[in-house]
Amino acid sequence: MRMATARKPQAGTHRFEAEVARRWDLVTRAQRLRSRSLPGAGPFEEDRFDAHCEHLVVRDLVSDEVVAACRVLAPRDALRSGGYFSAADFDLALLIVLRERMVEIDRPCVDPRYRGAPVLSHLLSGLARYLIENRFDYVLGTVEMDALDGGHVAASTYREACARALSPEDYRVFPRHRLAHESLSATRPVNSSEAINGFLDRGAWVCGEPALDAWHGRAVFPLLTPLARMHVRDARQFLARAG
């Protein structure tokens, strides 16, 4: 018996919508997508954050599939959960001044069949609406990339990202286990991940040196995005009305 395989959707056959998941079935599908997307992931397992998070999802309205997701940790929920996702990799002490106005998202997960589709744009537009509706001003998040070459491409990516958009010094975080980028090549050809480019293109700052996740062979980049810099339609419309 031949097993069915998932096929990549045909161009023009989907329409996307971002929303905060209010139905349990959407939350469950977001959890499953996250589990499949994480390095070495197995079946979904809750962590200490999951009960305190909201799930931002993007659905393909034609197939009704959840094609992208990330968890959102609001300020009060961060207090209830005992901290932030990224505190495992970074010292966030300087960002305490933003605590009441800052949400954190964990790593955005995109269904591999939808890579190249405008899914990340819809996810970030949904995030902008979330900030506007809840009167928050900043988003903290991280993006990972392979460091299996010793970290040389990650070091080159960090150099280019800093040249594009480095945060003010007052809004920096500090890696607990840093990638020693100064001793690595900074001139390797860079093919930044869709997520890094997507966030930088839409107004994110790199807000510190990359951390090294030696267990998974990955470099972790900290990103801080002010609503005022978010280059997505919903943020532009809101700021125009506010002006």
| Section 55-82 average pLDDT | 93
Least confident piece of the model among 63-67, 100-104, 169-173, 237-241: 237-241
Query: Which whole-number Å values give the CA distances from 38 to 41, 109, 130, in the listed order?
Result: 5, 8, 24
Q: How far apart are the first and last CA of the chain?
A: 63
Q: What is the pLDDT of residue 42?
A: 47
Closest CA to 71 of 52, 88, 86: 52
Q: Would the pLDDT of 128 be above 70?
A: yes
- Rounded to 5°, the CA angle 121-65-12 comes to 60
Q: What is the pLDDT of residue 9?
A: 52
| Section 21-27 average pLDDT | 90
Q: What is the pLDDT of residue 43?
A: 47
**pLDDT band, very low/low/confident/very high, at 216 (cuts 50, 70, 90):** confident
| Section 119-142 average pLDDT | 92
Give domain limits for the chain. 16-242
Q: What is the CB neighbour count within 10 angstroms for residue 10?
A: 8
Token output for 201: 């293109």
Q: What is the pLDDT of residue 194?
A: 66
Q: What is the pLDDT of residue 192?
A: 56
Q: Please, what is the average pLDDT of the chain? A: 85
Cα–Cα distance for residue pair 59/64, rounded to 1 Å: 6
| Section 48-56 average pLDDT | 89
Cα–Cα distance for residue pair 189/155, rounded to 1 Å: 11
For the chain, counts of helices (H) and of strands (E): 6, 11
Q: Is 217 left (phi over 0), alpha (psi -120 to 50) or beta?
A: left
**Beta strand spans in the chain (E):** 16-20, 54-60, 65-73, 90-91, 102-105, 109-110, 138-146, 174-175, 205-206, 211-213, 218-226
Q: Would the pLDDT of 234 be above 80?
A: no
**pLDDT band, very low/low/confident/very high, at 242 (cuts 50, 70, 90):** very low
Q: What CATH number does domain 16-242 carry, 1.20.120.1770, 1.10.1660.10, 1.10.10.10, 3.40.630.30?
A: 3.40.630.30
Q: Would the pLDDT of 227 be above 60?
A: yes
